[in-house]
Structure 1
């Protein structure tokens, strides 16, 4: 009876998570392909901050409509710390803006506000390579450390978002996470002493409602700084999660099962 209850719950969750949209940008995915730059050449353009410091927008050169993701760095960290993993995400068929925060010392709540401000600014752009390429109905957030905490707060405060990915998140509050309805991937490192998984990522994962799609892969031996590179399995997990929930593309579900030898632990309420 208990097994049946959990099975039905998982099926219901998966059906609820499957949005009305279903966009297939790019060829059928393989794990090897997800671990490399994607099929889309991208261009970049600078954007002036309006409620955030400044930003760089990466967009596919191929005409089309792409989901938009804003990415925030961590405490005392530059925008450039998020370039590698964010630019790779863009090459898989997304418009991605990496931001510089108003100050290097902004805490998660401020970073949440700045992520949302960046989405508002970028989706209003009508010039440059990104013009005409955004599906403004599909927006997501991502970030590292305090930017990861800001990501979780932004998701909790903005149910209209479609995806969130938080790398090694740091925060002192779970208030907004407790009401979050946005699908969230939290990616931690087992050797992180700045935002240890037990007192941060796991706590945040537990706070997110069971009715919200969520997963927590923990990378064996990874320290707090793993998101500053397009390292694996962080990068492909980010791509697969964003494909699954920002695009509604179920071809990527198979890469969200935790079956990677590089993980020291994995929990989720999937299948997705």
Structure 2
């Protein structure tokens, strides 16, 4: 009997190990390391496509029902199975309306964001006012809009063209809790933004005569601190109005920047670090690579 007990004791470690393996195999899969990842692993084709993996819908917001900005259009993923999404407000340029930026609406939303293209209070509003209006639109989006339950209010960004781009710099200065800013061919009389602390991706245009890169985009970029992160892409032989029509280069790298910093999705780092080489649609690319 004693010998039998010894044999039993010798077998115990192996039995425990087998039981542990069985228990591990039957345990539910662990959640993704990053709970904010949305959509499949990216490829060049997937972020250059006109639409991402999410079906989208849109809803109009009347200027009569809001305060602080001029209404707009919300584009959003129809699926709720992946949880909440980050959100981005997009402002137009001087004398322009939200329609000038509408091409970005469904395109960005289908990648897993809630997008709000807005009209400003007047078409003549200056950058500081546009920055305030983008923040007012974010507050409406997260607190009062019909899609507020689809949004993670801690993951917000701003994007804009021309004076709207200058407004992006103003908005991220005033609200450093924002996760990202994307000024597109931005215009602003203030040249130094050394106090800004939001990851910022500036898109300039080589042939811009309204907001020449030498006096706008480039000094804006240079003045930004190296932390947390910044990048500058200059479009080859492009005009100030390049962001007003569908542009694959703008979309591709804007998606990558928003994914990387709004969703903290490092799968998109491959497109930003080291970033595109000069050639084709790209005149120049600079950044603080590696990011994060």
What is the TM-score normalised by the length of structure 2? Answer: 0.83
Q: Which has the larger radius of gyration?
A: 2
- How far apart are residue 131 of structure 1 and its match? 4.3
Which residue, out of 204, 216, 221, partners 2:237?
221
Contact 2:58/2:73 (<8 A) preserved: yes
CA-based RMSD of the aligned residues comes to 1.4
Where does residue 53 of structure 2 map in the other structure? 39
For residues 193-238 of structure 1, the C-alpha deviation after alignment (integer angstroms, 9 at most, x for no partner) is 1111111000100111122300001011111111112302111111
Gaps of 5+ in 1: 1-19
Where does residue 248 of structure 2 map in the other structure? 232
Contact 1:115/1:154 (<8 A) preserved: yes
Structure 1 pair 172–21 and aligned structure 2 pair: CA distance change class (3 A): farther
SS of 1:147's equivalent in the other structure is helix
For residues 53-98 of structure 1, the C-alpha deviation after alignment (integer angstroms, 9 at most, x for no partner) is 1111111001020001110000000110111023211110000101
Where does residue 8 of structure 1 map in the other structure? none
Gaps of 5+ in 2: 1-32
Partners of 1:112 and 1:122 lie apart in 2 by 15
Contact 1:183/1:214 (<8 A) preserved: yes
Partners of 2:252 and 2:164 lie apart in 1 by 19
Structure 1 stretches of 4+ moved >4 Å: none
SS of 1:123's equivalent in the other structure is helix
- How far apart are residue 266 of structure 1 and its match? 1.2
Which residue, out of 255, 258, 261, partners 1:242?
258
SS of 1:76's equivalent in the other structure is coil
**1:65 lines up with 2:84 in the alignment:** yes
Which residue, out of 85, 93, 99, partners 1:74?
93
Partners of 2:93 and 2:214 lie apart in 1 by 19
Q: Output aligned runs, 1:188-207, within 5 Å.
A: 188-207=204-223
Partners of 2:186 and 2:57 lie apart in 1 by 29
